[in-house]
Amino acid sequence: MNEDALTFLSRQHPYDELPVAVLNDIVARVDKISVAEGDTIYDLGAPLKGLYIVQSGLVSVRDKTDTQVSLLERGNSFGERGLLADGMAATKARAVKDTLLICLPADLFRTLREEQSPFQRFFARSGAQPEPTGPQQTSLAQVTVDALMVPDPFTCPPETTILDAAREMTARRISCLCVTADETLTGIVTLRDLVGKAMATGKDPDTEVQSIMTAGPRFLPPTAIGSDVLHMMMEYRLGHLPIVEAGRLVGIVTQTDLTRFQATTAAGLVADAARATTIKALAEVTSRIPELLLHLVSAGNRHDVVTRMITDVADVVTRRLLTLAEETLGPAPARYLWLACGSQGRQEQTGVSDQDNCLILEDGVTESDTAYFQELAKFVSDGLDACGYVYCPGDMMATNPRWCQPVSVWLDYFKGWIEHPSKEAQMLASVMFDLRPIGGDATLFDGLQRKTLKAASKNSIFTAHMASNSLTHQTPLGLLRGLATISSGDHRKTIDTKLNGVVPVVDLGRMYALQGRLPEINTRARLKAALAAKITSAKGGRDLLEAYDLVAQTRLEHQARRIKQGKAPDNYLPPDTLSDFERSHLRDAFVVIKTMQSALMQGRGLLG
């Protein structure tokens, strides 16, 4: 894809949060560097030109022992560690395939890190940490054991026979049994014990496991961190480590759990998705997203960081499906652009996401061209469904011919919605104003967003209808400082943290973007841009941003708890699982959101 530096950086974090003037200055000063497959970008101890950002391709970063420490793809950056130290490369970097880099000069990088808060936050890591930059990896030092362990492990009493223990482990496909007496951990028996201490010595199968178990095994509490597990396993050569709380066995961590955790990073999933050659392989990657969400939340990452990483995986899966589609169907007969809307468009995907997408085709496509793109859309949408991104219940997908059209038709769509804001037009415009290019020719989208934002902001009737439509999702406020829960059905006594929590703020953010002709798509970025542009009052805007952060974080933490319990993540939070303190603050956040909804309707929140 022929993509200029401004377009690329404006869609990457933290550059997407920088003022437009600052971003333009950056683009004017960066260098674009093309590196052929196999060529060295820099070597250990070499002077660093600046911060490198991967626009396309693949880069291997290695330490002084020539061990690979990072494999970096589009959007990743490297070189920070050396720049923050003495300006010399602390690692070495080589292009694994033809790569296009953007190089931010060293002096500009240091200036931005000192003067721009988004940059400060993003590059606030300790210089002792390994590259790459940014919150792309969650280390074992950032996660507590309770997020790693398998809860309620299988146990047996000391009197269990060796034969019965072997049968139990075989049937359950596990590698150890914790031996307990009255819920107290007394020992642990592993497959290695069965082989080395029983079979190899010819013990009678009816011998009790207490004769071969490791008695009084080492253990850790659930408040320990992941690196504690790793260090104890390495020091004492353990493959299994029980987790004990107040004398009671509550879980176990194995070497396999550690390996799985270290493989379940956003970068790891992205790399695996980018190399997948089948839909089945892609589905295996996306099946690990719940684990990724749990790990990221457990490590204390903010909601917008977590959802961005999860969305990055969806983006790569989508682009990989587009590539597989062209390999199956043949090259595309015309220029096209695949776009996502909804939560993927806003980079706000969680553990529960369907698919919302469309295709923009170049003008002049023929009937046979359109037939090809319908096949491509079906291939990709079917693939996304197989990967867990279920079909949109409202048929807002590129497989619907209505959403697979040339640029001129799309312009007519938006023009019609703006000039004739019916209920359907309001709903469709709400979805389509969150469009974000994913794969194909991004130039087909150039101008479309700008023209529609301009036309929409000028039409007061349309914006009034959109404002009214944005208030259809109400916060779950009850009487007497309570929270109003769902009164019947499967989700009785819960609050919907999506429809009645984050969606009202998503709607407000979209309205602010329309009013101010703001190009931002992400909700949090829209709120910050609206605050900077004084579309909201300073106090109202700050309060709304903090309220959104609390509600969105609460939603993610609820999903993480369900994943940890072995359940599918959902959006239905029982308020009685929260402390009085948490409920009080959550209700305060809903009050802020409702206040800003009222201000929008009364015109006080739109100071155009």
Q: For each of the domains in the chain, give its residue range(s) and CATH number, in order of start.
A: 5-134 (2.60.120.10), 145-261 (3.10.580.10), 265-467 (3.30.460.10), 471-602 (1.20.120)
pLDDT confidence bin for 240, thresholds 50/70/90: very high
Percent of the chain with pLDDT over 70: 92
DSSP class of residue 485 equals P
DSSP 484: P
Report, as an integer, the average pLDDT of 94-119.
87
What string of DSSP letters covers 373-427?
Answer: HHHHHHHHHHHHHHTT-BPPTT--STTSGGGEEEHHHHHHHHHHHHHS--HHHHH
Of 265-274, 341-350, 365-374, give the lowest mean pLDDT range.
Answer: 265-274
Give bridge partners of residue 241 from the DSSP assignment: 253
3-state secondary structure (DSSP) of residue 569: coil
Are the C-beta atoms of 477 and 500 separated by less than 8 Å? no
Average pLDDT over residues 566-579: 92
266 pLDDT exceeds 70?
A: yes
**Cα 177 to Cα 496: distance, rounded to the nearest angstrom:** 40
3-state secondary structure 500-550: HHHHHHHHHHHHHHHHHCCCCCCHHHHHHHHHHCCCCCHHHHHHHHHHHHH
Going by pLDDT thresholds of 50, 70 and 90, the confidence category of residue 279 is: very high
Q: What are the two backbone dihedrals, phi and then psi, of residue 431, each rounded to the nearest 5 degrees?
A: -75, -45
145: CB partners within 8 A, 6+ apart = 220, 221, 222, 223, 224, 225, 226, 228, 229, 243, 251, 253
pLDDT at 589 over 80: yes
d(CA 74, CA 67): 21
Q: Which two tokens stand for residue 527?
A: 């709120």
